Amino acid sequence: MSALPDPPGTDHDALVGTLLQLVRSEPTSTRASLTERSGMGRTIVTQRVNELIETGLLAETGRGKSTGGRAPREVRFRREAACVVGVEVGASSIDVALTDLAGRPLGCHEQSWDVARGPDATLDQIDVIIDRLRTAHQPRAVPLVGIGVGLPGPVEFATGTPVAPPIMPGWDGYPVRDHLAARHGVGVWVDNDVNVMALGELRAGTAVGVRDFLYVKVGTGIGAGLVSDGRLHRGTGGCAGDIGHIAVVGGAPQPCRCGKRGCLEALAGGAALARDALACAENGSSPYLSARLGDDRPALMASDVAAGARSGDHTCADLLKQAGEQIGRTLAGLINFFNPSLVVIGGGVALSGDLLLASIRHSVYALSLPLATRTLRVEMSALSSQAGMVGAAFTAIDELLAPRQLPGWTHRLCRDPLPQAATA
């Protein structure tokens, strides 16, 4: 690292962070383009770029276009210099991706798993999956440098422990981060699933380049991740965005899984749709759902409602429309408050068809303030079912690339020049 002091008003870490963000967002840059985009002085930018080349995070690739005189040297982010693992634990699944430092999957594994089996069995299974993925897909000489994890419940980010998660019996206070760090010998960051999905959309999905947006997951439950001014907003206790438990007018009489009544989730989440589907099957109002129900199939799922709607069953379509309307109604209030330019809708229930999205959109545009919706987009998740594991990988990558973290791990980066195909 350079021994020269930075000029007054220039924070070393802030500039390194800015430069890393800039080089990650473009295939190649030049020192001149980075000077222009960062708004900092040419000398200091050149010094910091040279430092980052020394660490192995950046590489010079060749010469760019000349604007008169000698063509400038181009630099790029060496995403192939290390690997990270992203783990998404769902209520009924484990998805794991081994990725490069740009969050691009080198190998993935997805399987069914009941999170209620508890932390010991679940983390053992995750260890096995990580070992298998590394054996099959981790390039030789390229180190694993971090693991990111998304869990389906509230997580204290600073310690990597779940806090009173409603659907994860036995996980309350379990040291998830410490278990994985001890087992794999790398830095580990744990967050709730919706936050990691929001981060995935910000870095590699629908929200790339968007400063203020909401990611809304409609799965068994409903939750949201907030990105404000380009950063994930976790809140004081880490539960920002827990919108499933906002009370709604005319809420369901049944208690929510949080123990309260009237929550949005108890009215419009996947579990609520499954409950209402069973009632419609039993009272005969939906021929499709009645036919799905049988001795060998005593319960229905939200996906049955989506399939019914696609097949033309009016009751199924109405159930989805009503759920979308309730979600949109709650979102309209949040949009008036937060003024995002984008709402990304994801999660298993949302991804199962367009009807829910259409209904959410209709309700949002009808009920939000005109100024808040003037430039507002409501879009489906581009990362789809990969949002969790890719987002979890970015949870680790973003932390690793924080300038204060760099000295702790960049000495491990692979320095080998890799074949052209690997850097394309």
The contact set with Zn ion (CB under 5 A) reads 245, 256, 258, 260, 263
Query: Which CB atom, from 240 or from 389, has the smaller least distance to Zn ion?
Result: 240
Q: Which residues contact 321 (CB under 8 A, 6 or more apart)?
A: 355, 359
Q: What is d(CA 89, CA 66) in angstroms, rounded to the nearest whole number?
A: 49
**Closest Cα partner for 342 from 377, 310, 391?**
377
Query: Which CB atom, from 62 or from 255, has the smaller least distance to Zn ion?
Result: 255
Query: Which CB atom, from 153 or from 403, has the smaller least distance to Zn ion?
Result: 153
Query: Which CB atom, from 258 or from 358, has the smaller least distance to Zn ion?
Result: 258
User: For residue 14, what is the enclosing H or E element?
Assistant: helix 12-24
Nearest approach, Cβ of 256 to Zn ion (angstroms)? 3
Phi, psi values for residue 239, rounded to 5°: -110, 20
Cβ(245)–Cβ(258) under 8 Å?
yes
Query: Which CB atom, from 63 or from 260, has the smaller least distance to Zn ion?
Result: 260
Nearest approach, Cβ of 272 to Zn ion (angstroms)? 11
CB under 8 A, 24+ apart: contacts of 282-285: 285/315
Nearest approach, Cβ of 40 to Zn ion (angstroms)? 47
Q: Which residues contact 355 (CB under 8 A, 6 or more apart)?
A: 306, 309, 317, 320, 321, 324
Query: Which CB atom, from 245 or from 329, has the smaller least distance to Zn ion?
Result: 245
Cβ(224)–Cβ(342) under 8 Å?
no
Helix, strand or coil, per DSSP, at residue 178: helix
